[in-house]
Amino acid sequence: MSTEQQKRQQRVKTAGAGTLEHESRETLLHYYHQMVLVRHFEEKSAEMYTRARIGGYCHLNLGEEATVVGFCEGLEPTDYVYTNYREHGYAICRGISAPAVMAELFGKLDGCARGRGGSMHLFDLERRFMGGYAIVGGQLPLAVGAAFAVAYKGGKEVIACQMGDGTTNGGQFHESLNLAKIYHLPIVFFIVNNQYGMSLKADQGSAVGELYRKACAYDMRSARVDGNDVLAVRDAMREAVRVARDEREPSLIEAVSYRFKGHSVVDPDRYRNEEEVKQGREQDPIALFARRLTEAGMIDEQGLQRVEEQVSHEIDEAVKFAEESPFPPLESLYDYIYAPDNSEVGEG
């Protein structure tokens, strides 16, 4: 093997498991709370959809909570986030309040995008959450453009671009990675491989089943990580963010998780057999993390129950807030079509 081949091989790796060692109890319990919050928020969103409080498409993060929290905890508040349409949990973990997200799902004026975005287009400029995108892969070129702007201005911000596994089969994925490497841009490409692109298994829709290996074509650093391990995901993100910020080099991370429900809330999920779903749910990231915390003496069963109760109250308050928020007035129909002179859109 040549020296160049060895260098390229070193750029591709499978990230190790996260460890509780050197982690504070406060930090670990915060991660657990966030994971439970995302889970309950998504379960309530599904309920609200069936009650016709939420319209349009609605895609949930159920089963991906460790991936969501780990991704967000690897970033700094000054970094920018671009996501796909399965973004409720990411918005919450980036600091947008659960009430503001729920109100947006309801199409209400107090939503984080003033009721204009709905489930697939959450947005908050203040928190540098640059939106979910309904077009598969639509966020990648925009994220690369933002990273180019940061590099051009000499900034220290990092762009984190989340996507689903199916996105890696599209042309915009390859063009974006190519440009990011050519211009040495401060960006992290983050693939959430929940093992299904709609109803098609990821390894059936891609000639390369291990999606992180696709970065090799662009001589880019990449890693595959257990998406059910919140600490492993966070650590992989922290390293990729460090490389982007300090070395001005892009990276790609593939987080492997499992989607508990169908592609969206209206998907009956008949393409997966019961045994497969059962096995996937046995790797529930919340249950696994709760077990690790209790075994380490960080929390007991009563403590876990208190978290459940606290989160349930938070979600009830979010729904109440959304119900009481008004719809945007008819006369505001044409507002925000063009970029405003201030950051009014996105506050909340």
pLDDT at position 19 is: 80
Number of structural domains (the chain) is 1
Q: Which residues neighbour 260 within 8 Å (Cβ) at sequence distance 6 or greater?
A: 62, 63, 277, 280, 281
What are the counts of helices (DSSP H) followed by strands (DSSP E) for the chain? 12, 9
Spatial separation of the C-alpha atoms in residues 149 and 141, rounded to whole Å = 12
Question: Is 335 domain-assigned?
Answer: no
What residues are paired with 271 via a beta bridge? Answer: none
Question: With contact defined as beta carbons under 8 Å apart, do 133 and 119 qualify?
Answer: no
- Does this model's pTM top 0.85? My answer is yes
Q: Is residue 172 part of a domain?
A: yes
**Domain presence at residue 189:** yes
Instruction: Check pLDDT > 70 for residue 4.
Output: no
Closest CA to 192 of 337, 72, 44, 344: 72
Q: Is residue 69 part of a domain?
A: yes
Q: Would you say residue 337 lies in a domain?
A: no
Residue 330 lies in a domain: no
Distance CA 264, CA 86 (A): 9
Question: Is it the case that residue 72 has pLDDT exceeding 50?
Answer: yes
pLDDT in tens, 205-231: 999 999 999 999 999 999 999 999 999
Is the CA virtual torsion 226, 254, 100, 157 positive or negative? positive
**Domain extent for 124:** 3-323
Residue 310, classed as helix, strand or coil, is helix
Residue 90: pLDDT band (50, 70, 90) is very high
Percent over 90 (pLDDT), the chain: 86
For residue range 227-249, list pLDDT tens digits in order: 999 999 999 999 999 999 999 99
Tens digit of pLDDT for each residue in 249-300?
A: 999 999 999 999 999 999 999 999 999 999 999 999 999 999 999 999 999 9
- Average pLDDT value over all residues in the chain: 92
End-to-end CA distance of the chain: 55
In a domain, 339, yes or no: no
CATH classification at residue 294? 3.40.50.970
Q: Is residue 341 part of a domain?
A: no
Sheet holding 221-226, edge to edge: 12-14, 221-226, 251-256, 187-193, 159-164, 80-84, 129-133
